[in-house]
Structure 1
């Protein structure tokens, strides 16, 4: 079996994001994979382009689709399977790996970074913000469980909330008061991460904002974990 690897990022309509691309390209090269990067949004390097290219390579009979996304919401449950089905060669077998937030790699990352921040800013709780979704309850349930586990490890309450979907940042901060150490559980440090920060700052003052996961090796560690679990 010859496996090709397609790493699928969210992207942004009309713009190819630069963040994390060098990290992923370096990983593909280091692993000696037949692989490429695709985006769910925009008109360049689309998911469909990536599938057509890789399944057309000589000898490829298996495709590993790796969503570089944190939680299983509309992109993983609907977009990737529905769009893939339209272009996949029936002779190609496919493995789609699980999203990254549930990996031990991400949990250890949060324990390290939040633990260090709590030491530097004693007495503060943590506000953990994920993108969220209004369509499925499971991602927030998973976020709550992650927050609880990390909080027990670092000895400080970790308060989970969402950018979209219930509960929103505003709903959470109506009942929970800081100042906080704020961790945006997000893969890029762009427009949406800035919106999250602005929404918190409109309500709270004096919060400490930690970096997002952008360009951090935790992304590659989480991908390695998911590929190993899937056996690809």
Structure 2
């Protein structure tokens, strides 16, 4: 019997964990498989191993492992496959299919477009955007983020779209903000994050302080609940289940 195991990142912030679970619950209705469970990479339970065991207890013989992650970095390339290898040793009769993260996708650019529009503030001809990623030492992340920035520039009327990172990569968020100040223009700060958490709260506080002393910074919402996000996740599930050993 086919199962789908959604792997969310996890957060120290309960609201962020709850948002991830609620989003997955909505996505489950898009998928016709009776066994669908949610687990976390870190900072929350159930763990990946617990999620796999729960699927098997419910009768799963095939498990699609679906990373509810934006981009492919260490978690998707190493951590999740390592956990699946452990489970495969314990349950050699089970077939595992590992899906891709959401990745670079045109529909995610549509989500960003909606988040910019939802601020209620019009993008001006001189407006710039600062795309903020979580960050990783994996060079593929920087490549993907630059590609996403180019796609935003094509879809939205920003004069310029720059990229910075909250951790483990350069330019840092602080450096990105310092550069944005030099433009003396309206700056839309776009968090490339799925849900809220400590990083989002830190960004909110920093932008609040900046707007007390400098030009207009407009912080958009994180990607969060969105029909296009659900559709991309559905595509990844269908894709994974078609890759059977």
Scaled to the shorter chain, the TM-score interval is 0.7 to 0.9
Distance (Å, rounded) in 1 between the aligned partners of 2:119 and 2:127? 9
What corresponds to 1:109 in structure 2? 111
SS, match of residue 17 in structure 1: helix
Distance (Å, rounded) in 1 between the aligned partners of 2:113 and 2:13? 36
Contact 2:5 2:51 in 1 (8 A): yes
Gaps of 5+ in 2: none
C-alpha displacement at 1:201, in angstroms?
Answer: 5.1
What corresponds to 2:52 in structure 1? 51
Structure 1 window deviating more from structure 2 (186-195 vs 18-27): it is: 18-27
What corresponds to 1:221 in structure 2? 231
C-alpha displacement at 1:154, in angstroms?
Answer: 1.7
Gaps of 5+ in 1: none
C-alpha displacement at 1:188, in angstroms?
Answer: 1.1
Contact 1:105 1:225 in 2 (8 A): no
What corresponds to 2:70 in structure 1? 70
Structure 1 window deviating more from structure 2 (198-207 vs 210-219): it is: 198-207
Distance (Å, rounded) in 1 between the aligned partners of 2:99 and 2:13? 27
C-alpha displacement at 1:26, in angstroms?
Answer: 2.8
C-alpha displacement at 1:160, in angstroms?
Answer: 1.4
Query: 1:47-78 CA deviation, whole Å, 9 max, x = no partner?
Result: 100111213333x3211111111111221122
In the superposition, relative to structure 1, how do residues 201 and 140 fare at CA in structure 2: closer, same or farther (>3 Å)?
A: farther
TM-score (norm 2): 0.82
Count of paired positions: 229
In the superposition, relative to structure 1, how do residues 107 and 231 fare at CA in structure 2: closer, same or farther (>3 Å)?
A: farther
SS, match of residue 66 in structure 2: strand
RMSD: 2.5
SS, match of residue 19 in structure 1: helix
In the superposition, relative to structure 1, how do residues 27 and 175 fare at CA in structure 2: closer, same or farther (>3 Å)?
A: closer
C-alpha displacement at 1:14, in angstroms?
Answer: 8.9
TM-score (norm 1): 0.86
Query: 1:5-37 CA deviation, whole Å, 9 max, x = no partner?
Result: 000001135958211322211321453421110
